[in-house]
């Protein structure tokens, strides 16, 4: 999240005696226009920094708080849902897996954005159940054979080694991991300098937006 404030308008107002309302109105209009420019720039910046971000992710940046003439401040950041996972790309850090663990595909074909296709995990887990009806429906959903033998749980191999909870394919008496849910923390490095990218847009467009807004405000002043 980045917040832009307008400060130091004393000198401008002094030169425009009696025009304080117009200056404040122009400043709020310019702040909102600049925030819009930041939002518009972010999809292309995410394309450069991230590996195949989804359209949903690229639409995640929004103007969270708008400015008005009594509050010369505007805030741009990620919407709630996108912020939940983009925080790791923006700030880095260590992420606890929680009770469900972290979903790591081992032998699943990912979609065009590098993610596990929607519904695949639920479908494979249904296939691992013994209910024949549920297996057939799940097989159709994930486009695999209903005869595929799967195991879901925390398997122990012949040597006594405990493997992470996951969905495994049973083949010739062996378990082949498809999707695993290891209960270990994942460490993320900063990959998207959101504040730096946003600041570069502000530095580039703010003055032109303010000059334009001020000219418009003064031309209509009574």
Output the pTM of the full model: 0.66
Domain boundaries along the sequence of the chain: 2-94+187-219, 98-184
**Nearest by Cα to 97 from 188, 167, 178:** 188
Give 89-128 as a DSSP string. Answer: HHH-EEE---TT---EESS----TTSSPPTTHHHHHHHHT
d(CA 77, CA 83): 8
Tokens found for residue 202: 């502000």
Residue 187: partners with Cβ closer than 8 Å, 6 or more residues away: 92, 93, 94, 95
Host H or E run for residue 176: strand 174-180
Reading the chain (222 residues) residue by residue, the pLDDT tens digits are 666 665 555 545 545 555 677 888 888 999 999 999 999 999 999 999 988 888 889 999 999 999 998 898 999 999 999 998 899 899 988 877 665 556 656 555 656 655 666 666 776 777 676 655 555 555 455 455 556 677 777 887 777 778 888 878 777 777 777 777 777 777 888 999 999 999 999 999 999 999 899 888 878 765
Other beta carbons within 10 Å of 28? 21
């Amino acid at each position: 999240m980045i917040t832009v404030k307008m400060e130091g308008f004393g000198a401008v107002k002094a030169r425009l005696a009696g025009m304080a309302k117009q200056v404040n109105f122009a400043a709020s209009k310019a702040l909102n226009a600049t925030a819009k420019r930041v939002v518009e720039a972010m999809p292309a910046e995410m394309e450069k920094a991230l590996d195949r971000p989804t359209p949903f992710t690229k639409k995640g940046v929004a103007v969270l708080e708008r400015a008005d003439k009594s509050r010369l401040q505007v805030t741009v950041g990620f919407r709630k849902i996108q912020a939940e996972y983009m925080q790791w790309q923006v700030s880095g850090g260590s992420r606890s897996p929680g009770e469900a663990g972290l979903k790591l595909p081992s032998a699943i074909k990912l979609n065009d954005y590098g993610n596990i296709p929607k519904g695949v995990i639920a479908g494979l887990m249904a296939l691992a159940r013994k209910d024949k009806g549920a297996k057939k429906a799940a097989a159709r959903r994930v486009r695999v054979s209903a005869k595929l033998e799967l195991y879901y749980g925390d398997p122990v191999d012949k040597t006594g080694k405990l493997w992470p909870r996951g969905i495994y394919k049973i083949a010739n008496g062996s378990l082949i991991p498809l999707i695993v849910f290891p209960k270990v923390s994942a460490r993320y490095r900063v990959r998207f300098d959101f504040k730096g990218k946003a600041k570069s847009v502000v530095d580039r467009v703010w003055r032109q937006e303010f000059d334009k807004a001020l000219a418009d405000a003064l031309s209509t002043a009574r």
